Structure 1
């Protein structure tokens, strides 16, 4: 079997523009088939190019593989596209989440589309966990984006998900693909972008009412956060159907080709675990707590990474809120417990119990005082709570929202997309949030 793999020069391209695709193979010719992810993957195009061999590089430097230029058709709809590489044509439907011979490409609109929803693909987080070339942001402070991986097509760090073993956690297929399938299957039209686009100041001024993120959006640059905050302050809404969001700060190379993240305290010995360390230069919460934007932080929650966990759900604190419309839930009911909705990582806020017996934020961690806690899930003691400042309350996943100029909703658990297809109450809440905020 002839080996083949590749990567795009950047993770996104406007419809109608040229993208540079880097591919290495010893075959004299190879094929590329493009599929747009939606309710089901849809074949959108095919090209053939001459092959050229190249050797793998290191994790921290541009691999500089042979380049092929592809002009994306102007009529391609904005979305996530998977490029499937092969040396022999096939009529079989390929597995799109392969650990090799796949490239992820986000097509953004050629001009503002008039749609109200913009979905953010977390390519920085995908690349942080990619281990192609022998390293990731869990073993080094720098990685290149110009190597196989970044959502599909490369090996990733992390333990398997006992609730969904069909794909690794830190990949497009695991969190984003099911969420996008649900959106498009329910007639929710949106455009798509990457965090690199938002870092560069693209798209948020194009008339969108709602920015959506789902699953695991852990790595943010200061520019991405500043631009998203400005979007909120101008009246834009944010729906975060995930957790561990904006936990690490990254610096992006001027050409958009690499990420730096200083996780380890100065003078830390080799083998130090950054998740168990304080004084980490690029911990957002130690520098500028992400609570101020998102209402919650991973430091107020926790993680359970290995194996099945005690099933947890959110205890509903105000069933009369519009978020719960049509769910049938009553105050005191528990959302999603049977399917272990809370985990594998979740976010929370420092809280106290008010005179009515409801949790409300204290604000000591930067959470806005008007953040409404709509669901809460206190976490068991066997979860991971490394590197957190002392709190007077028990750590808990905290579902809720607040309004500044725009409204910010958080589902506070990475596993929200996993239940969309099977839990009608999770589905109803998702529809309520997107419909209202868009």
Structure 2
């Protein structure tokens, strides 16, 4: 390819905005747990750091009606040393408190809040743990699988994550291929106030405007982590869980980490639910989902951006992404486990084989300089499909348009053709032959730079992509390059007696937040059918 594509500094890497880590100055308090999930009877080991003389821990069972279930007060504060590369190797702090899970704690998401006070000033931060059911499937057919691998990848606590942080130049984003679970979380993944910005435009943008990223502006002003809206509980799973509880659905909880470590984690459940941004998966995690479908279970995915293979090695997550040749398994008998995008032929297991769609056929919409004036919803092509029963939606209608804008930020699609007004998967990317594309929306692979490199973008693309996936770029006649295009898709397929529903949109939950009648109706239809109630 000829020409030079200008790469402006990423909007998330302005100067003088360091990632959180202990400084020993002022009032600080952080904590983490030794695992992400536990069963009744297990003991949670908590490691804490605070500049205060004492601190407290509060455990809150979160959801539609948050409930304080445990407290420890007047714990002695300590300031253990923190390695410079804690993001990769973990903090190594000693255990300072323990919480034994009572037998009567139900499966749920539990927030662990650390609080310290000095001279009337207080600081709080939070971690989490999941309690798994002692009898999977007994009280509910649904298991909500929390996307811990995407959380690990975006958590920049300690100085780096899977996108940025290594090196001294904020204009150059260098990611860490190794990320530890044994560290605190940047603020905002677990708790933030209602109305915090999301990764999309809420209102129409005027002609000749410059892209802005309210999520970063808001986070910097209020001392939240810059990636607070990119992953996990506060942005995605919590709004879904609250809505589901209010609708009468009972949920058990698991994490992706459980799927990796325990092949039987989904045994007993009829329907695995995935919500929001589940970008990172391990081979064993996919095995667990595939096994569920193969035995006649179902998947209800209200999420998007299935993209990268990771490996879990102890308490470390590995992902080399754009430099797979640096992965120790590259060129070995274990090369299928190399940590890069699932659609690469080195792996031989395309994303579409598990969930029908792939992040690399969709990606961005209504975010930054990516389809900024699009309708933000999914245009209906198969109104007769069972997922749309009872909605009164017609061919060409838009599901989840303004203000819900469910098909924004990151979306998934597949290779397809349109024949006589209907989209059909070609299968060239591994999509199942019986995949039904129900609704679609436009997307771009990377943000379009109309500003000659003078305006920071959220994802302007990286040179390394061209080295192994050059087809993502399309040349213009003038020699410059623009991103190739993709699509958001809502789709289903079956394998044996199992069914997979895929919304193909990370922002589906925004339709529930906005109480969009159509989005709520489809969500109930999917849950009832795949959970066995319909």
TM range (shorter): 0.7 to 0.9
Equivalent residue in structure 2 for 1:110, among 124, 129, 134: 134
What is the DSSP-based 3-state SS (H/G/I as helix, E as strand, rest coil) of the residue aligned with 1:56? coil
Deviations 1:39-80 (A, max 9, x none): 132222212333222233321112111312210121111111
SS of 1:60's equivalent in the other structure is helix
Tell me, yes or no, if the aligned pair for 2:189 and 2:231 is still in contact at 8 Å.
Answer: no
Matched, 1:306 2:368: yes
1:234/1:43 CA distance change after superposition, 3 Å: same
1:331 aligned counterpart, secondary structure: coil
Equivalent residue runs for 1:37-436 within 5 Å: 37-48=62-73, 49-57=75-83, 58=85, 59-67=87-95, 68-88=97-117, 101-114=125-138, 115-138=140-163, 139-149=175-185, 152=189, 161-163=200-202, 165=215, 168-201=229-262, 203-245=264-306, 247-253=307-313, 255=314, 257-265=315-323, 281-286=339-344, 287=347, 288-304=349-365, 305-306=367-368, 309-310=372-373, 311-339=375-403, 340-355=405-420, 357-379=421-443, 383=447, 395-405=486-496, 406-422=498-514, 423-436=516-529
Report the 3-state secondary structure (helix = DSSP H, G, I; strand = E; otherwise coil) of the residue aligned with 2:296: coil
State the 1:394 CA deviation: 6.0
- Work out the CA distance in 2 between the residues paired with 1:264 and 1:326: 45
Is 1:16–1:75's contact at 8 Å kept on the other side of the alignment? no
Q: Aligned-pair distance for 1:36?
A: 1.4
Contact 2:411-2:443 at 8 Å conserved across structures? no
Deviations 1:108-164 (A, max 9, x none): 11233512000001111111111111111221110111001177479xxx9965548
Quote the offset at 1:237 in angstroms: 0.3
CA–CA distance in 1 between the matches of 2:529 and 2:400? 22
Residue 325 of structure 1: how far off its partner (Å)? 2.1
SS in structure 2 opposite 1:87? strand
Does 2:25 correspond to 1:25?
A: no
- Residues of 2 paired with 1:379 and 1:143: CA distance? 30
Change (3 A) 1:211 1:267: closer
Query: Residues 200 and 408 of structure 2 are in contact (CA less than 8 Å); yes or no, is this contact kept in structure 1?
Result: no
Change (3 A) 1:291 1:5: same
Per-residue CA deviation, residues 68-97 of structure 1 (Å, 9 max, x unaligned), is 2210121111111111111259xxxx9xxx
Go from structure 1 to structure 2 and tell me whether the alpha carbon gap of 1:297 and 1:263 turns closer, same or farther (over 3 Å shift). Answer: same
Alpha-carbon contact 1:197-1:203 (below 8 Å) kept:
no
Alpha-carbon shift at residue 176 of structure 1 (Å): 1.1
Report what 1:277 is aligned to.
none
Contact 2:362 2:485 in 1 (8 A): no
Q: Secondary structure at the match of 1:75?
A: coil
Q: Quote the Cα distance in structure 2 between the aligned partners of 1:64 and 1:381.
A: 39
- C-alpha distance in 1 between matches for 2:189 and 2:305: 21
Show the counterpart of 2:12: none
CA change 1:402–1:258 in 2 (3 A) is same
User: TM-score, normalized by length of structure 1?
Assistant: 0.87
- The total of aligned residue pairs comes to 413
Residues 302 and 383 in structure 1, CA contact (< 8 A), matched pair in contact too = no
- Is the CA contact (8 Å cut-off) linking 1:103 and 1:152 kept in structure 2? no
Measured after TM superposition, the shift of residue 205 of structure 1 is 4.6
- Contact kept in structure 2, 1:204 and 1:231, CA below 8 Å: no
How far apart in 1 are the matches of 2:132 and 2:378? 35
Contact 1:214–1:241 under 8 Å retained in 2: yes
Which is higher, the Rg of structure 1 or of structure 2? 2
The TM-score with structure 2 as length reference comes to 0.72
Instruction: Give, in whole Å, the separation in 2 of the partners of 1:202 and 1:366.
Output: 24
Deviates more, 1:41-50 or 1:425-434: 41-50
> How far, CA to CA, are the matches of 2:291 and 2:179 in structure 1?
28
Structure 1 residues 203 and 82: alpha-carbon distance in aligned structure 2, compared to 1, 3 A threshold? farther
Q: 1:395 to 1:41 in 2, by over 3 A?
A: same
Moved more, 139-148 or 384-393: 384-393
Going from structure 1 to structure 2, the CA distance change for 1:202 and 1:191 (only over 3 Å counts) comes to farther
Q: What is the distance in 2 between the residues matched to 1:258 and 1:282?
A: 16
Q: Find the residue that maps to 2:48 and give its secondary structure.
A: strand
